[in-house]
Amino acid sequence: MTTMNNSIEILAPCGSLESVAAAVRQGADAVYIGSLRFSARAYAKNFDGGDLKKAIDYCHLHGVKAHVTLNTLVSDEEMPIAVQTAKEAYFAGADAFIVQDWGLAEIIKAAMPDIDLHASTQMSVHTPHGAKILYENGFDRVVLSREMSRDEIAEVVNSCEIETEVFVHGALCMCVSGQCYLSAMIGGRSGNRGRCAQPCRLPFRVRGGTGYDLSLKDNCILNELSELAKIGVTSAKIEGRMKRPEYTAMATAVARHSIDNGKADKAETDRLRAVFSRSGFTSGYYYGKTGRNMFGTRSKDDVVSATESVLADIRAEYKDEVRTNAVSFTLDVHKDSPALLTARCADITVKSEGATPEPAGNVPLSAERAETQLAKTGGTSFYAESIEVNIDDGLTLPISSLNAMRRDALAKLEKAITAVPERRYIEPVYKTSSAVHRAETGRYRAHFRSCDIPDAFRECELIYVPLFSKTEEIVKLLRRGFNVGAEIPRVFFGLENKVQKKLDELKNAGMTDVYCNNIGAVSLAKESGMTIHGGFGLNVFNSYSLDFIGKTGVTDTELSIELTAGMIDRIYGNIGTGIVGYGYLPLMITRNCPNKNGHGCKACHGKSTITDRKGNEFTLMCGSGCTEMLNCTPLVLSDKQESFTGVDFMSFHFTFETNEQCTEILNNYINKSRPQGQYTRGLYFRGVE
């Protein structure tokens, strides 16, 4: 487990060089920055190769770490480019990579062993077993899901040695990060690819709601940093790489004050709210208090509060360079020898040679005058801690020479401090891209929300029922000849022990198969000795991720629902693959139900609707403490099955269909019938940005 202490890293978001300077000067211990590609904030300014190096060097000059985000899903074709992007940041001196894609993480770990690997919050890790399996597979840190409570965070911290990173301020997505497909499905812009269009901030209404029932206030637990430090959390992460430098500066300053003084300063927090908020802030998830108080929008008052006067005052606080490096100077001025300035900073020593001194005509160079010139380190990161001057009597030296030696010595120190230590790089071997075709077709699996299964589905190679179904009902299905597996909830905050107990119970009852949409679920199922089948929530987007998932114990998996048919056809690895072939696709999974911003949850009985500004109705279905928002039209591929000859199976995800409808749908797939009524092909033939 992580050692508990009273220190916690302040990790600030930076979308520009100005933001980097603002964060460092306001007290950040680390920053995270994105390259121009493969960053989950593709619409932030981000950094090209030259600016990335400048940003990293500036951080290192001040003893601040620089973490580089490569936290999007990557296709097979993009993998060499993504690795090259990582390689450039690696040799520029990056301290860590924040990664979402399983395959990219595996390649980085093998090719660039001298860098830390952080699991992005896009990996949806929120349980102790999720953290453990990451640690066992070479990750140094996990960025935990934003929805976790204080007790849930502590449980993960105490579970293993992996470092933990917790979001302490900034925007809250309605959906669990990594599990949102809303922007992709309705606009073709994927959050998992860094291009979320934020449709959740548009009007969506539940009965009795405000009309913005997918929009949460910004998270703020900056007052709790001392508590997080005591729990043992490694890093306090501020969200906001797309926001202005003044926001980065103010959020960092509030965090710094909170750590140094035990709590946040109210006046500073009010200024932070003036710079950016959505109807104020919320700490609901941290305290386990979800509900209407967590919802908010960007109102006119929020916008106009960021006056130029407020912003100018904040800019004034970080406009000047901070002097973080103590330097000791020794100046030697001796007859018939060039003047020599020796500068020491920590364990680095440099020398700078100046002009040869001449006999003084009138006033010789005094030690006091030399010290005055050498102490002029303004505009740099250095300050003169001590100055020793050794001057022979009767000599003079141009002040310009003293200044030049000082500038040269400081430049040499700066270069030495920011030099990147020698790093190992092992050239990766990439897979040869080629279409994979399998002879067998028509292998189906089906997911149901209850144990009331039509007889026709005995022909499916697997059917899944909810994990928390009654064990006796599952036993009846097994006796009726169904090959039954249990579906672990896609997310299960605070339920790990309950999940583990139920898995053991089902194993003893004769069940052998389990369906996992989360890496934490995979770890639990592996401990229970079950045969593990992966779900679309694992976001397997390429052949390399497929191999990684196989290494964790998964025998086969559904691929990402954001892949095109052509991309799917080219993915291959050591385990079987399948696709979601039918269903009302889940667009979001949320811990704070939208109905809590409306009439509440008492009357919905686990099923309700939410309506967008165009009048489209989306079903909300609740269970295991979370709510899924389903697409308004079903995905249907009954007549398109020949487009997916490269997969081993096709899954039906039934939600509210009747038994008669389920049987009819199965027959349509067996007969390859053309669909009737409204339907979608999902993203399989149009793809995403």
Tally of CA atoms within 13 A in the half-sphere of 628 that contains its CB: 20
DSSP for 124-186 reads ---SHHHHHHHHHTT-SEEE--TT--HHHHHHHHTTSS-EEEEEEEE---SSPTT---HHHHH
CATH 3.40.30.10 fits 9-172+216-318, yes or no: no
Predicted structure pTM score: 0.95
CATH 3.20.20.70 fits 444-582+636-670, yes or no: yes
Q: What sign does the dihedral 399-402-405-408 (CA atoms) show?
A: negative
Same CATH topology for 9-172+216-318 and 444-582+636-670: the answer is yes
Consecutive 10-residue runs of the chain (689 residues): their mean pLDDT?
Answer: 66 96 98 81 68 96 97 95 96 97 98 98 98 98 98 97 98 97 94 93 96 97 98 97 95 98 96 94 97 94 91 96 97 97 97 96 93 96 97 95 98 98 96 63 90 96 97 96 97 97 96 98 96 98 97 98 95 96 98 94 86 97 96 97 94 97 97 96 93
Question: What is the C-alpha to C-alpha distance for residues 140 and 145, in angstroms, rounded to an integer?
Answer: 16
Strand partners, 612: 204
**pLDDT of 41:** 60
- Residue 276 tokens read as 């950016």
**pLDDT of 436:** 58
- Residue 222 tokens read as 């900056």
- Domain definitions of the chain by residue range: 9-172+216-318, 325-418, 444-582+636-670
Tally of CA atoms within 13 A in the half-sphere of 159 that contains its CB: 26
Nearest to 9 by CA among 259, 230, 221: 259
